[in-house]
Amino acid sequence: GLTSVSVDFYVFWAAAKLALQGLPLDAFDVDRIREIANVTQEGWMPWAYPPGFLLLVTPLGLLPFAPAWAAFMALSVAALALATRPFTAGRPHLLLAIALAPAILPCLLVGQTSILWLAGLMAALAALHAEKPLLAGLFIGLLTLKPQLGLLLPVALIAAGQWRTILAAAVTAIALAAIPTALY
């Protein structure tokens, strides 16, 4: 079925189910994730995200697997379309090129978060370009949900003297750590 294709997403969905059952820490238990997802094949990644990402995907646990996967992918693509709009306005061929990029289809099929993270980075760059440092910081702070993606962002922001963006990103990152930790 779809779970044999959406290798990454079933981990998110199973973790969401566990969070809704009041067992968010069980998301880190590989055997428990496999049991909830009802998947036996090898070659998948266990839950490796911070509590903030679990909070983000928890509503998807209310849906059966296929509709949850479709909703997550649709939201990711919509986020990318919105984030790239400032760069593609008046040039629909650029938006089409992004939509047809070779990396998009595998991300959709496997249920990866890559499209969502790309959307966050594009939104941060658009906000910086529009001289909206606090909004850029918000998007950069959201990227801390997968921290390895932004290792050089602080260096670039410091080099550019974007102190308000750094502050907004730090506040967002702290909130993304504190709120789910308190809830879960």
**Please, are residues 88 and 125 in contact by the beta-carbon 8 Å criterion?**
no
pLDDT, average across residues 70-98: 89
User: What is the spatial distance between Cα 85 and Cα 182, in angstroms, rounded to a whole number?
Assistant: 35
- For the cut 80, the answer to whether the pLDDT of residue 15 exceeds it is yes
Q: Which residue's entry shows tokens 């990103």?
A: 169
Provide the percentage of residues in the chain whose pLDDT is more than 70.
93
User: What is the spatial distance between Cα 160 and Cα 184, in angstroms, rounded to a whole number?
Assistant: 37
- For the cut 70, the answer to whether the pLDDT of residue 153 exceeds it is yes
pLDDT, average across residues 56-80: 94
- For the cut 70, the answer to whether the pLDDT of residue 172 exceeds it is yes
- Residue 126, C-beta contacts closer than 8 angstroms, at least 6 positions apart: 83, 85, 86, 87
- For the cut 70, the answer to whether the pLDDT of residue 64 exceeds it is yes
Report pTM.
Answer: 0.85
Banded model confidence at residue 106, pLDDT cuts 50, 70, 90: confident
